[in-house]
Amino acid sequence: NAGVTQTPKFRVLKTGQSMTLLCAQDMNHEYMYWYRQDPGMGLRLIHYSVGEGTTAKGEVPDGYNVSRLKKQNFLLGLESAAPSQTSVYFCASNMGDTTNYGYTFGSGTRLTVV
């Protein structure tokens, strides 16, 4: 039982390049979330999903796209990376009963856009 796994752990991109961050969970959780955390700041919600095939916007969705084609995976895409997207990205999941269970977070993807 690996919990929430994020791939890759580190990445350096050039401005304008695209990439996809993968979040995988093996806990059969319904809900999945993507957050970003800038240096010295709190976490901000980018997009989230309450079930396979569904996605919704969070606080800071611009410049990102997501897909939840399989229940266990939640992908975060950057179509044209910008230096402002340099951040640590965290994925989280929840079994779908947020009143009784907390979120489980991954260990993060550290992205630098130069």
46-86-57 Cα angle (round to 5): 10
> CA 79: distance to chain centroid?
15
Structure tokens at 68: 């939840």
Nearer to another protein, 12 or 41 (CB): 41
Binding residue for another protein, selected from 23, 85, 90, 93, defined by CB under 8 A: 90
Secondary structure percentages of the chain, helix, strand, coil, to 5: 5, 50, 50
Binding residue for another protein, selected from 19, 22, 88, 95, defined by CB under 8 A: 88
Nearer to another protein, 63 or 105 (CB): 105
34 is a site residue for another protein (CB under 8 A): no
With contacts defined by CB under 8 A, name the span among 7-15, 16-24, 73-81, 96-104 that binds another protein.
Answer: 96-104
State the Cα–Cα distance between residues 23 and 51, nearest whole angstrom: 14
45 is a site residue for another protein (CB under 8 A): yes
State the Cα–Cα distance between residues 105 and 107, nearest whole angstrom: 7
Nearer to another protein, 42 or 69 (CB): 42
Give the binding-site size for another protein (rule: CB under 8 A).
25
5 is a site residue for another protein (CB under 8 A): no
